[in-house]
Chain A
Amino acid sequence: MKKVLAVMLVLGVVFACFAGGAAEAPKQESNVQAAIRDAQTLTWDQLLEKAKAEIGDNELSIYSNSSRLNETTFTEKTGIKVKADQPDDTQVYEKMEAEIGNGLYGADVYALQDSYMLMNFAIANGYLENYIPLEYKGSMDASATDPLVICYFSRLFIYNNGKGNLKNLITNIWQVTEPDFKGIEMKSPLLEKGSMNFLITVTSPEWQEKLAKAYKSYYGKDWVNDGKFENISYEWIYKFINNCTFINKDSTIAKDIASGAEGSVGFFVYSKLRSVDYTTLAVSATEGVEGFSGLVYPFYGMVAANAKYPYTACLYLTYLMSSEGYNAIFGKDMGTYSTNKTTKISDNAKEAGDRELDFWLTTTVVEDRDYIPTVYAQAYTKIAEWCASK
Chain B
Amino acid sequence: MNSSQTKELSRSGLFFNRLRTYFSKPANLVVVTFLLILLICIVYPLYSVLYASFTVGKMDSMMYNSLFKLNLKPGSFTFLNFSMMIAGKYSQEYSLSFFWRPLWNSVRMSIYSSAIAAIVGGVIAWLITRTDIKCKKFISSVFVFPYIMPSWTLALVWKNVFANSKVGTGVTGMLESLTGICVPSWFVYGIFPCAIVMGIHYAPFAYILIGGILRNMDANLEEAATILKAGRWRIIRKVTLPIIMPALFSTLLLVFSSTMASYAVPVFVGSPGNFYVLSTMLRSLYSSSYSGQSYVMTLVLVVIGAGMLLLNQMVLGKRKSFTTVTGKSGQVSYVKLGRSNNVITVILVVVLFFMAIFPIFSFALESLCDVQGDYSTITLKYWISRTPIQGFNVPVGEGILFNPTIWGAMWGSLKLSFVVAVVVGVSGFLIGYGVSKNRNSKLANLLSNVAFFPYLIPAMAFGSIFLAVTSKLVFLRGTFLILVIVASVKYLPFASRSGTSAMMQLSGEIEEAAIIVGAPWHKRMLRILFPIQKSSFISGFLLPFVSCIRELSLFILLTSSGTLITTLLSYFDEKNVEQMSNGINLLIVAIVLIVNFTINKLTGASIDKGIGGN
Contacts and interface: CB of A to CB of B under 8 A. Distances in A.
A264 B287 CA distance: 29
B571 A86 contact: yes
Contact of B67 (A70, A125, A259, A377): A377
B394 A68 contact: yes
Given A274-B393, A381-B94, A388 B165 contact: no
A380 B169 contact: no
Contact of A90 (B94, B287, B371, B393): B287
Most B C-beta atoms less than 10 A away, residue of A90, A381, A388? A388
B62 A377 contact: yes
Given A381-B67, A385-B98, A388-B281, 9 more contacts: A94-B464, A185-B169, A191-B287, A245-B169, A251-B576, A377-B289, A381-B63, A384-B284, A389-B96
B12 interface: no
B560 A85 contact: yes
A277 B576 CA distance: 13
Interface in A365-388: 376-378, 380-381, 384-385, 387-388
A74 B172 CA distance: 42
A390 B288 CA distance: 18
B90 A381 contact: yes
Contacts of B472: 102
Interface in A334-390: 376-378, 380-381, 384-385, 387-390
16 contacts: A67-B393, A85-B560, A90-B286, A90-B287, A98-B470, A104-B477, A191-B284, A193-B287, A251-B575, A272-B576, A274-B393, A377-B289, A381-B63, A381-B90, A385-B98, A390-B274
Most A C-beta atoms less than 10 A away, residue of B97, B371, B472? B97
Contacts of A249: 574
A53 B467 CA distance: 33
Contacts of B86: none
B169 A257 contact: yes
B468 interface: yes
Most B C-beta atoms less than 10 A away, residue of A247, A264, A384? A384
A248 B288 contact: no
A139 interface: no
Nearest to A259: B171
B220 interface: no
B361 to A, nearest CB: 21
A71 interface: yes
A242 to B, nearest CB: 10
A256 B271 contact: no
A110 to B, nearest CB: 15
A59 B191 CA distance: 47
B267 interface: yes
B171 A275 contact: no
Contacts of A378: 66-67
A388 B97 contact: yes
Contacts of A88: 287
Interface in B347-401: 371-373, 393-395
B174 interface: no
Contacts, number: 144
B178 to A, nearest CB: 16
Interface in A46-95: 67-68, 70-72, 85-91, 94-95
Interface of A: 67-68, 70-72, 85-91, 94-95, 97-99, 101-102, 104, 117, 120-121, 125, 160, 183, 185, 188, 190-191, 193, 245-249, 251, 255-257, 259-261, 264, 266, 272, 274-275, 277, 332-333, 376-378, 380-381, 384-385, 387-390
A91 B58 CA distance: 15
B413 to A, nearest CB: 18
Interface string B89-110: 0110110111001100000000
Contacts of B94: 381, 384-385, 388
A389 B93 contact: yes
B312 interface: no
Contacts of B373: 259
A183 B169 contact: yes
B276 A388 contact: yes
Given A183-B169, A185-B168, A67 B575 contact: yes
A251 B573 CA distance: 9
A260 B271 contact: no
B268 A190 contact: no
B169 A388 contact: no
A261 B164 CA distance: 10
B59 interface: yes
A7 B472 CA distance: 30
A264 to B, nearest CB: 4
A185 B271 CA distance: 12
B471 interface: yes
A348 B512 CA distance: 80
B284 A188 contact: yes
A266 B98 CA distance: 25
A183 B394 contact: no
Contact of B62 (A86, A120, A261): A120
Interface string B452-482: 0000000000001001101110100100000
A227 to B, nearest CB: 16
Contacts of B276: 388
Contacts of A333: 393
A82 to B, nearest CB: 12
A376 B267 CA distance: 26
B170 interface: yes
Nearest to A263: B170
A376 B102 CA distance: 25
Contacts of A191: 283-284, 287
Contacts of A381: 63, 67, 90, 94
B289 A376 contact: yes
Contacts of A264: 169-170
Interface string B171-187: 11000000000000000
Interface in B255-295: 267-268, 271-272, 274, 276, 281, 283-290
Nearest to B170: A261
A89 B287 contact: yes
A86 B561 contact: yes
A91 B557 contact: yes
Given A90-B286, A90-B287, A70 B62 contact: no
A385 B471 contact: no
A70 B395 contact: yes
B60 to A, nearest CB: 10
A98 to B, nearest CB: 5
Nearest to A271: B393
B444 to A, nearest CB: 36
A272 B393 CA distance: 10
B272 A94 contact: no
Contacts of B575: 67, 251
A261 B169 CA distance: 6
Most B C-beta atoms less than 10 A away, residue of A72, A272, A385? A385
Contact of A385 (B97, B271, B283): B97
Contact of A246 (B58, B271, B371): B271
B557 A94 contact: yes
Contact of B467 (A94, A121, A193, A385): A94
Contact of B394 (A67, A120, A247, A261): A67
A260 B394 contact: no
B278 to A, nearest CB: 12
Contacts of A188: 271, 284
A213 B475 CA distance: 60
A248 B268 contact: yes
A74 to B, nearest CB: 13
A221 B393 CA distance: 47
Most B C-beta atoms less than 10 A away, residue of A70, A193, A277? A70
Given A185-B169, A251-B576, A256-B171, A388 B284 contact: yes
Contacts of B65: 377
A193 B288 CA distance: 8
Nearest to A385: B94
Contact of A67 (B62, B101, B574): B574
Contacts of A248: 267-268, 271
